[in-house]
């Protein structure tokens, strides 16, 4: 669908945002739209619509198809710089990758050695403002479809919370309910960082506009290689089917023809590919903003918008060490504590990690989402915090 980019590196350019839809309407049933948004590195189709391993159940790792089979209109979107969405041209330059990742991921191909100079575009690629604008374009598109002029159910994995959370606070009328899986939440994160520059200048190769503060990160994109990607999934081996890590990697890189020719050479002229993803400067999602109330004095999240939170016991991405700096100190329980309301429900899944969409616990996640969207309850519970053991037993948490 058409969108006018708000990313500083290609501000004002017309782009096309890809959205995959599964029409789950059966007969004369009412439309029930669901929008699924990916996290920082994994694109939407790999995260929410992964093909099964050989011999596996067809939709074991396709959360989107499971919801569609339950009667929901499901939409999956990629933000710019991820998956099938446009990649701003600064991402085509390998020297613009995170300098600390160049040696292990980009050498010897496409770089013979790490770049000696600073990245040609020494700024973050996106920001909260640009990503919220893309989410809004897709929400408006969905609500303009025949029969779909109604609030949308949100599903967000990981860093999607940095986009969907602030959007829901600002546009509560657009959101029916929300399910955040392993959400990234910095309790002491940035309050606000609105750019002063209205970006009125047309972008050009010499003077691309950048968001403020300039040079905060010093590069626009991260890159990941196959070895590092698979190693990051190894924290929960008992929850992984053989071969699912390979399938997840292939799904992550197959839609990017540029970086499909980057990375280590597996055979003459055949490369394992590289996963590239945007570097974003985020704000407006913390313990001060999450309890925001609407003009009538009703708390938005957890009261006006029912909120389900699910995370893994062994997740060290969404629950980072307390010694980390404030902007990188993430805590899922802190989100629950900030929002806590009559329609806030949280589960911690025993033994699970950050990539629950590809673990065997994915089926539990699918079931919880169907129950939550159907009646605002999971296993008869509508609020509270619980630890779910592998046998399904629930233990209330303080």
Give residue-wise pLDDT tens across range 344-361: 999 999 999 999 999 999
Cβ–Cβ < 8 Å for 63, 112 = no
Beta bridge partners of 157: 181
Cβ–Cβ < 8 Å for 181, 156 = yes
State the Cα–Cα distance between residues 1 and 75, nearest whole angstrom: 12
Beta bridge partners of 223: 276
Per residue in 24-45, pLDDT (tens digit) is 887 777 889 999 999 999 999 9
Please tell me the predicted confidence (pLDDT) of residue 56.
75
Residue 196 pLDDT grade (very low, low, confident, very high; cuts 50, 70, 90): very low
Residue 279 confidence (pLDDT) above 90: yes
State the Cα–Cα distance between residues 304 and 299, nearest whole angstrom: 6
Q: Which of 383, 226, 394 is nearest to 307 (CA)?
A: 383
Residue 296, classified by CB atoms within 10 Å of its CB into exposed (0-12), middle (13-18) or buried (19+), is exposed
Cβ–Cβ < 8 Å for 268, 58 = no
Please tell me the predicted confidence (pLDDT) of residue 266.
87
Q: Which of 94-103, 185-194, 302-311 has the lowest mean pLDDT?
A: 185-194
| H or E element, residue 277 | strand 275-278
Residue 148 confidence (pLDDT) above 80: yes
Residue 109 confidence (pLDDT) above 80: yes
Q: Is 104 helix (H, G, I), strand (E, B) or coil?
A: helix
Q: Which of 250, 258, 294, 212 is nearest to 86 (CA)?
A: 258
Residue 210 pLDDT grade (very low, low, confident, very high; cuts 50, 70, 90): low
State the Cα–Cα distance between residues 308 and 301, nearest whole angstrom: 10
Question: What is this structure's pTM?
Answer: 0.94
Please tell me the predicted confidence (pLDDT) of residue 224.
97
State the Cα–Cα distance between residues 219 and 90, nearest whole angstrom: 10
């Amino acid at each position: 669908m058409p969108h006018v980019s708000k990313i500083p590196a290609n501000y004002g350019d017309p782009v096309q945002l890809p959205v995959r839809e599964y029409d789950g309407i059966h007969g004369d049933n009412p439309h029930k739209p669901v929008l699924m948004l990916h996290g920082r590195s994994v694109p939407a189709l790999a995260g929410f619509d992964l093909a099964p391993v050989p011999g596996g159940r067809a939709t074991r790792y396709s959360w989107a198809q499971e919801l569609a089979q339950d009667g929901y209109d499901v939409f999956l979107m990629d933000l710019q710089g991820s998956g099938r969405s446009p990649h701003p041209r600064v991402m085509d330059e390998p020297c613009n990758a995170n300098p600390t990742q160049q040696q292990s991921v980009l050498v010897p191909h496409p770089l013979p050695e790490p770049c000696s100079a600073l990245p040609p575009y020494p700024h973050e690629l996106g920001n909260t403002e640009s990503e919220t604008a893309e989410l809004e374009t897709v929400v408006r598109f969905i609500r303009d479809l025949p029969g779909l002029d109604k609030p949308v159910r949100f599903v967000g994995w990981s860093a999607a919370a940095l986009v969907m959370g602030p959007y829901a606070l600002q546009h509560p009328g657009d959101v029916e309910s929300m399910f955040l899986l392993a959400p990234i939440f910095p309790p002491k994160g940035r309050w606000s960082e609105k750019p002063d520059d209205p970006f009125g200048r047309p972008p050009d190769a010499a003077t691309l506009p950048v968001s403020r503060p300039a040079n905060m990160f010093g590069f626009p994109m991260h890159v990941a290689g196959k070895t590092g990607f698979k190693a990051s999934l190894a924290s929960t081996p008992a929850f992984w089917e053989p071969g699912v890590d390979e399938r997840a990697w292939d799904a992550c890189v197959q839609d990017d023809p540029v970086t499909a020719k980057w990375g280590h050479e597996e055979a003459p002229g055949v490369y394992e590919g590289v996963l590239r993803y945007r570097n974003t400067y985020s704000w407006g999602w913390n313990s001060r903003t999450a309890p925001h109330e609407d003009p009538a004095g009703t708390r938005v999240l957890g009261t006006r918008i029912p909120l389900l939170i699910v995370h893994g016991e062994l997740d060290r991405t969404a629950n980072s060490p307390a010694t980390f700096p404030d902007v990188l100190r993430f805590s899922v329980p802190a989100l629950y504590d900030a929002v806590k309301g009559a329609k806030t429900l949280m589960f911690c899944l025993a033994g699970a990690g950050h990539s629950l969409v590809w673990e065997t616990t994915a089926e539990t996640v699918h079931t919880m989402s169907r129950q939550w969207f159907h009646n605002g309850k999971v296993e008869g519970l509508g609020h509270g915090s619980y630890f779910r053991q592998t046998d399904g037993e629930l233990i209330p948490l303080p």
